[in-house]
Amino acid sequence: MNDRREPVPVEQILHRVRALCQRATRDREGQFWIEGIRHFVRACDARLQIDAVVQSETLLKSALADKLARRLAAEGVPRYRVSPEHFRTLSVADHASGIGAIVRQPWTPLERAEQRSGLCWIVVEQIRSPGNLGTILRTAEAAGASGIIFLDRSSDPFHPAVVRASMGGLYSLALVRATFPQLRRWAATRRILFVGLSPDGGFLWTDLPLSQEVALIVGEERGGLSERLRSLCHASARLPVAGGADSLNVAVATGVMLYELVRRSQMRA
């Protein structure tokens, strides 16, 4: 077969969206795919760069999302109208919303990562489960964290399942990537206390002496903090675990620690 016709735009955009489910494509294009009214509206509110909108006017029931899509189109952002059937092939939601977008990945350079003034930073090395990483993003936003620093390239916040579990959390957090030497320099030149979260931590989570900006360091689900992460920590905190229990889920442990920081910030206020 030697079909030289150009693909029609709809097929082209469906293909582009599907390709963005692959990490390699996301990395190469610097884009990711979002779907659903909540995500679309929040991405617009956060002024993320939207490269294309995919819409099924039959499915879409949100006047606000439709208005935002038309405004983007007026600004020159390509808008692809697709059939409900086509849209559903892109959707993992129970009820396909009819709106999605290809969005530029909003990375913040590490050297600009000081300019926020949130509750704390969170450093992750590798979280295996996209659901756990997404839940950490969701909780980080809710607790008022400045952002997440991803050590190296092992975790990808733009994985579709991370985006979904984040419930929009990633739109208001600063997302930073850093190598280990960069992170070490960042720590050395700024008065940031690196606090590791670990079952063998030196302080009970409520007893941590905190008087400066904090970066919470969260390890991988099974292995916990790696040696190099431990070498970065100024202090480490543990959550007590009763009886025969093994450990806490990493997203739950991060949430408990973040809300302990919220509790303390409210006591100071």
Q: Order of strands across the sheet with 99-104?
A: 31-35, 99-104, 50-55, 79-81
Separation CA 56–CA 11 (nearest Å): 14
Question: To the nearest whole angstrom, how small is the minimum distance from the Cβ of residue 130 to a second copy?
Answer: 12
Q: Which is nearer to a second copy, 54 or 237 (CB)?
A: 237
Contact call for residue 125 and a second copy (CB under 8 A)? no
Instruction: Name the residue with tokens 């400066």.
Output: 212
- Binding to a second copy by residue 38, rule CB under 8 A? yes
| 55 makes contact with a second copy (CB under 8 A) | no
Concatenated DSSP letters for 7-20? PPHHHHHHHHHHHT
| Among 48-56, 57-65, 133-141, 186-194, the segment contacting a second copy (CB under 8 A) | 133-141
Residues contacting a second copy: total by CB under 8 A: 42
269 counts as binding a second copy under rule CB under 8 A: no
Selected binder of a second copy within 19, 59, 110, 142 (CB under 8 A): 142
Q: Which two tokens stand for residue 250?
A: 């990493």
Q: How far is the CB of 239 from a second copy (least distance, A)?
A: 7
Residues 2-41, buried b or exposed e (16+ Cβ, 10 A)? eeeeeeeeeeebbebbeebeeeeebeeeebbbbbbbbbbb
Q: How far is CA 56 from the centre of its chain?
A: 26
Q: Which residue of 168, 196, 201, 219 would you call a contact of a second copy, by CB under 8 A?
A: 168
Exactly one of 17, 143, 195, 237 binds a second copy (CB under 8 A); that residue is: 143
33 and 100 in contact (C-beta within 8 Å)?
A: yes
Answer for which of 249, 261, 268, 269 binds a second copy (CB under 8 A) is 249
3-state class of 175 per DSSP?
Answer: strand
Give the residue, chosen from 19, 81, 205, 224, that forms a contact with a second copy under the rule CB under 8 A.
Answer: 205
Binding site for a second copy (CB under 8 A): 38, 42, 45, 119, 131, 135, 138-139, 141-144, 165, 167-169, 171-172, 204-206, 239-249, 251-253, 255-256, 259-260, 262-263, 266
